[in-house]
């Protein structure tokens, strides 16, 4: 269970990103965070695994406060939390397999990993993760030789290597076209349902929210303006969150 309590974040240049954010995520939820660009979604996700240090407040992960965890403890927390990024954040010049193996760094022998030596078991695990996201044949390719959708699958495979209890997904489909968006989110949904991995995902499109979320948190100007079930978000609410001029954009028709 993840509890976010009175979270504040002010950047050194004075930008206020988050103001008194409170919510709880139960195990097994598929929580979607919505909001305009700049509403604080990315900052919030990065505060959870402390890629960004919050200014004030607490984040309790299974009762342990992430915000005050010392370096070693923080790394152990981080390795239970996978992360998927909008820009995929792969090392473009490295091979797909190396990128996936990098997800295992939190578990690996720190010295052997520096030499680039991985036990066969880990290599097999990486191969399995790639098979799971359907690109086993690309293991030896350079990451930048892959298409956007394929790169994001590598990103998910990398997160899988962590055997995560929680996956943070920061706009995982914003750089992809609608059909690919569904296929990526379906992988996340599958992980959520079958492996009981909690997912916290920020999304842009209302129809994707309706389709995948089990619960929704809406941010506006760094504050939580709505918490509830996806069905409760209708056009009126949507306009309230996104402002008057917003038009609901559909993320395509691909629907099973």
Partner 1 sequence: MLNALASLFLPGLGQFLAGRRTRGLALFGVIAVMLGLIIWAVTPAVGGAEADITFKGNPANWRWLIVPTLLWLWNIWDAASPRPVLIPVIAALIMFYVMGWQATEIDLEALAKNFDRALIILRPMFRPDFLQPKADRLEAWVELEVPCSPTPPAGANTLVGTSLSLSAGCASVGETLTLTAGGLWPDSDAELVWQSPIGDFFALREPGTTQPVITRTDSTGRLATRFVVPKAIPPGIDPNLPQNQRLYVRQSKVTGGYELSTNGFFVLKGIYETIALALMATTLGTLFAIPISFLAARNLMSANALTLGMYVVVRTLLNIVRSIESLIIAIVFVVIVGLGPFAGMLALALHTIAALAKLYSEVIEGIDPGPIEAIRATGATWLQVARYGVVPQIVPPFTAFTIYRWDINVRASTIIGFVGGGGIGFFLVQWINLGDFRAVSASFIAILVVVMAMDVFSARVRERLI
Q: Which residues bind partner 1 (CB under 8 A)?
A: 49, 51, 75-83, 85, 87-94, 98, 102-106, 108, 110, 113-114, 116, 155, 158, 161-162, 168
What tokens appear for 13 in the block? 């240049």
Cβ nearer to partner 1, comparing 115 with 121:
115
CA 23/CA 7 separation, integer angstroms: 10
User: Between residues 70 and 116, which has the closer beta carbon with respect to partner 1?
Assistant: 116
CB of 46 to partner 1, least distance (A): 8
Report, in Å, the least distance between residue 82 CB and partner 1.
8
Q: What single DSSP character describes residue 108?
A: S
Nearer to partner 1, 16 or 69 (CB): 69
Minimum distance from residue 163 beta carbon to partner 1 (Å): 11
Sign of CA dihedral 253, 82, 36, 61: positive
Let me know: does 199 contact 188? Beta carbons within 8 Å.
Answer: yes
Q: How far is the CB of 226 from partner 1 (least distance, A)?
A: 27
CB 157 within 8 A of CB 130: yes
β-strand partners of 256: none
CA atoms 96, 100, 101, 106: torsion sign: positive
CA–CA dist 48, 41 (Å, integer): 11
Q: Which is nearer to partner 1, 163 or 240 (CB)?
A: 163
Alpha carbon 130 to its chain centroid, in Å, reads: 18
Segments in the chain forming alpha helices (H): 41-48, 71-78, 96-101, 110-114, 120-132, 148-160, 178-194, 206-212, 235-242
Is 185 in a helix, a strand, or coil? Answer: helix
Closest separation in Å from C-beta 159 to partner 1? 8
Least separation in angstroms between residue 101's CB and partner 1 is: 8
Which of residues 162 and 192 has its CB atom nearest to partner 1 in the complex? 162
Least CB distance to partner 1 at residue 73 (A): 10
CB 161 within 8 A of CB 124: no
Give the nearer residue to partner 1 in terms of CB position, either 19 or 89: 89
Comparing CB distances to partner 1, the nearer of 106 and 252 is 106
């Amino acid at each position: 269970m993840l509890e976010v309590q009175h979270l504040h974040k002010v950047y050194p240049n004075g930008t206020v990103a988050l103001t008194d954010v409170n919510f709880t995520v139960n195990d097994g939820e598929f929580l979607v965070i919505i909001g305009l660009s700049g509403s604080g979604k990315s900052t919030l996700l990065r505060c959870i695994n402390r890629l960004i240090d919050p200014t004030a407040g607490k984040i309790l992960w299974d009762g342990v406060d992430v915000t005050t965890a010392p370096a070693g403890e923080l790394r152990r927390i981080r390795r239970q939390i996978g992360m998927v990024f909008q820009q995929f954040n792969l090392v473009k010049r490295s091979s797909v397999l190396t990128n996936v193996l990098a997800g295992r760094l939190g578990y690996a022998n720190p010295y052997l990993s520096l030499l680039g030596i991985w036990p066969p078991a880990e290599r097999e695990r990486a191969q399995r993760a790639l098979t799971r996201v359907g690109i086993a044949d690309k293991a030896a390719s350079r990451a930048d030789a892959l298409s956007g959708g394929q790169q994001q699958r590598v990103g998910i495979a990398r997160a899988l290597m962590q055997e995560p209890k929680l996956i943070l997904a920061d706009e995982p489909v914003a750089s992809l076209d609608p059909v690919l968006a569904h296929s990526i989110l379906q992988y996340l949904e599958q992980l959520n349902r079958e492996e009981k991995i909690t997912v916290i995902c920020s999304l842009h499109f209302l129809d994707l929210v309706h389709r995948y979320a089990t619960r929704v948190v809406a941010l506006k100007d760094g504050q939580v303006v709505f918490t509830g079930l996806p069905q409760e978000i209708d056009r009126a609410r949507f306009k309230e969150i996104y402002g008057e001029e917003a038009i609901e954009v559909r993320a395509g028709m691909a629907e099973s």
